[in-house]
Amino acid sequence: MTPRQVADYMFGQDYFSQWMNIKMIEVKENYCLIEMPIRKEMINGLKTVHGGVTFAFADSALAFSSNNTGDAAVALNCIINFTKAGKEGDVFKAESTLVNDTRKTAVYDIRITNQNNELVAKFVGTVYKIGKKVTEL
């Protein structure tokens, strides 16, 4: 399977990413660019995007980029820094890029931007390679 086919296979079973209305823009080996519209249900009591939504969006980018070779990997550690508040009606993009790869782990940088290309959050995710194929799970 190509990286895009693996990501599409995963997305077909990922009901949470579907609920977030994520669209895959570009998928290459160990890389993805995804997009998500910010809806009313994603807004917190301060009228900004809930941090958990932004984190979950970055986590989906991590999953689609770190598993798209067909070898399954799961999040081991994730860190996020919020740099700009999002609002209802925004469109977020997450770009996930591999920065370090070892036999059992890999590290990805994920940049989340809005429709004006302003940095909304910076996420670093470390994954653990579990030794199984995505299609075996």
Model pTM score: 0.97
Domains assigned to the chain: 3-136 (3.10.129.10)
Mean pLDDT for the chain? 98
Which residues lie across from 80 on neighbouring strands?
123
How many Å apart are CA 48 and CA 123, to the nearest integer?
A: 18
How many Å apart are CA 137 and CA 114, to the nearest integer?
A: 33
Q: What is the pLDDT of residues 23-63, one digit of tens each?
A: 999 999 999 999 999 999 999 999 999 999 999 999 999 99
